[in-house]
Structure 1
Amino acid sequence: MSTVRIAAAAAHFGRNLDFDVARIGKLIDDARSQGAGLLVLPDAALGGYLADLRHPDPDALPPALKPDDPIIFEVARLAAEMTVCFGYCEADGDIRYNAAVCVNGDGVLGRHRKVHLPAGEVAAYTPGNSFDAFDTPVGRVGMLIDYDKTFPESARSLALDGAEILACLSAWPASITNRAPRMAQDRQARLFDLYDQSRAAENQVVLASSNQTGAMGGMRFLGKSKVVGPGGDILARTFGKAGLAVAGIEVAAEIERARRVLRHLGELRFDAYRSSP
């Protein structure tokens, strides 16, 4: 079975779209030089994230792009033979979504609109309403954005739809309400790693987690991008610095090895679970 090299990026992106595309191009080149077939870029890689998560300024929101905006297909052109996932603010008339798209040189492979919105985002975005996996040259992929991965049902829905790789795109900041003196002690930093490893291990899939770095408004983004194996083991990571976490993995073989005795998806007991609160 063939090995896929997966890259998860930690990088900062802001409102200047020309700058963002140039940075995406550089990250694609860097990932390509390391043999990556899949590159997962952060949430809001085009246009940056909200400057204030508690009280978003309606006059300072990220630029909203239509799903067929030429800039998306410019990234697809840069991706060429690689599969690249990235986040942006999507416009549907006057409605905005925190969205992600997966592309290669052939065009769009898959899309996702963030379903679970934290309190501040509700003022800026409309939630999506589904989780759908899609086929790519590197395997079947499902995307999650930020807060989506806090909910086990999100990743589970994608795994049940056949996703072998979960691409988790984030603009995940350090704790806003309970700041720690050191990043290693930060509550949100701990949860970011915990969710990444748990979602991979629960579903016995590969997970690529990207995140923004630097600051936007009063927020400090964590970085901590990583590639996680189907047993929950971290195969590569950036810690808090900008850069790429790159790991090679035989995706199908490793998933089969993880599921050889305990097959979590096959042993679910839907009849025993509550379907709603």
Structure 2
Amino acid sequence: MKIELVQITGRDGDTAYNLERTLQAIATCEVGTDMLIFPETQLMGFCDATQLAEVAEPLNGPSMQAVQRAACDRNVSVLIGMAEKAAGTFYNTSSLVTPQGIAMSYRKTHLWPSERGLFQPGDRYVTALWKGIRVGILICYDIELPESARALGQLGAELILVTNGNMDPYGAVHRTAITARAQENQAFAVMVNRVGEGDEGLVFAGGSAAIDPLGRMLFEAGREECHQVVELDFDLLRTARRDYDYLNDRRLLLTGEQIEHTDGRREWLIP
């Protein structure tokens, strides 16, 4: 399986620019790519209260429709982040878009301090079957809380995808966190971060990475823009879980309600 990590710059509050770069990356992806992953809130960037009300869109809005058309044209899937507007409420949302449409969407459950009061936190974790693999989504600060990835693990996640917007001086924190989340759940983890400068002097740390189920780094980006394809060998899942299985061996279970959907999605409701 080939996954392309699209580590690029963005403009906060400039959907037209961000969407143009997104569509260009999809159109020029490497032949044989199965999925492209973009940073957190790729389509709108990080917005203040005034910008957010102006640029946030519903999941079926024009920007996501354009991404879906591009995915269909190239026959690839795309993990993309956005500022979602739903019934007058705003969410930091990432969606897995396939040529057939949106396979699943996840609303960030652990908001960074500067997001609180702008976004509403999500109330559930979600996984879906994609090309026979159970995939789950996390967003940025989520990975610093081990229970987030563990919730996906309880749902059977074999591949944890992370849209990231991590900035200096916290780059090393997410390098450690993504490695730990993969190893302790014996799953692949792929994280894609933003680079360059944002509003209010933020400098994004890059460091996009792919980790195997044994906690080994398969790829780690620097601080510049890059489009990197990584190949994942899912036979490693069996290798990682052959002698011991953390999910089966643990004695403390997360509380919450699990919901099975007929389309293969599984959700874990936060109590």
Q: TM-score, normalised by structure 2?
A: 0.87
Match of 1:87, as an amino acid? G
- Other-structure match for 2:76: 82
Pick which of 61-70 and 39-48 moved more.
Answer: 61-70
TM-superposed deviation, 1:245: 3.0
- Other-structure match for 1:20: 18
- Other-structure match for 2:266: none
Pick which of 74-83 and 151-160 moved more.
Answer: 74-83
Cα separation, 2, equivalents of 1:157 and 1:30: 35
The structure 1 residue matched to 2:214, chosen from 219, 231, 242, is: 231
CA shift digits 1:212-267 (9 cap, x unpaired): 1111111000111111111111112221111123211222x111111110211111
CA distance 1:256–1:197, shift in 2 (3 Å): same
- Other-structure match for 1:184: none
Match of 2:26, as an amino acid? I
- Equivalent pairs counted in the alignment come to 252
Task: For structure 1, list consecutive stretches of 5 or more residues without a partner in the other structure.
Answer: 51-56, 176-187
2:63 is the counterpart of 1:71 = yes
2:10 is the counterpart of 1:32 = no
Task: For structure 2, list consecutive stretches of 5 or more residues without a partner in the other structure.
Answer: 257-271
Aligned 1:28-177 pairs, distance under 5 A: 28-33=26-31, 35-50=32-47, 57-61=48-52, 63-80=55-72, 81-137=75-131, 139-175=133-169
- Other-structure match for 1:260: 242
TM-superposed deviation, 1:70: 2.6
Q: Is the 8 A contact 2:7 2:193 kept in 1?
A: yes
- SS for the counterpart of 2:191 is strand
Match of 2:94, as an amino acid? A
Match of 1:60, as an amino acid? Q
Task: Among all aligned residue pairs of Structure 1 and Structure 2, give the percentage whose two residues are the same amino acid.
Answer: 26
Cα separation, 2, equivalents of 1:191 and 1:225: 13
CA distance 1:153–1:139, shift in 2 (3 Å): same
Q: Is the 8 A contact 1:102 1:110 kept in 2?
A: yes
TM-superposed deviation, 1:274: 9.7
CA distance 1:59–1:90, shift in 2 (3 Å): same
CA shift digits 1:178-233 (9 cap, x unpaired): xxxxxxxxxx1110100110100010101110011111111000111111111111
The structure 2 residue matched to 1:209, chosen from 185, 191, 216, is: 191
- Other-structure match for 1:185: none
Cα separation, 2, equivalents of 1:59 and 1:249: 41
Cα separation, 1, equivalents of 2:195 and 2:222: 10
Cα separation, 1, equivalents of 2:228 and 2:240: 22
- Other-structure match for 1:181: none
Q: Is the 8 A contact 1:225 1:244 kept in 2?
A: no
Q: Is the 8 A contact 2:38 2:163 kept in 1?
A: yes
Match of 1:6, as an amino acid? I
CA shift digits 1:48-85 (9 cap, x unpaired): 114xxxxxx42233711112113212101211221210
Pick which of 11-20 and 113-122 moved more.
Answer: 11-20
Cα separation, 2, equivalents of 1:125 and 1:114: 9
Q: Is the 8 A contact 1:225 1:245 kept in 2?
A: no
Aligned 1:170-189 pairs, distance under 5 A: 170-175=164-169, 188-189=170-171
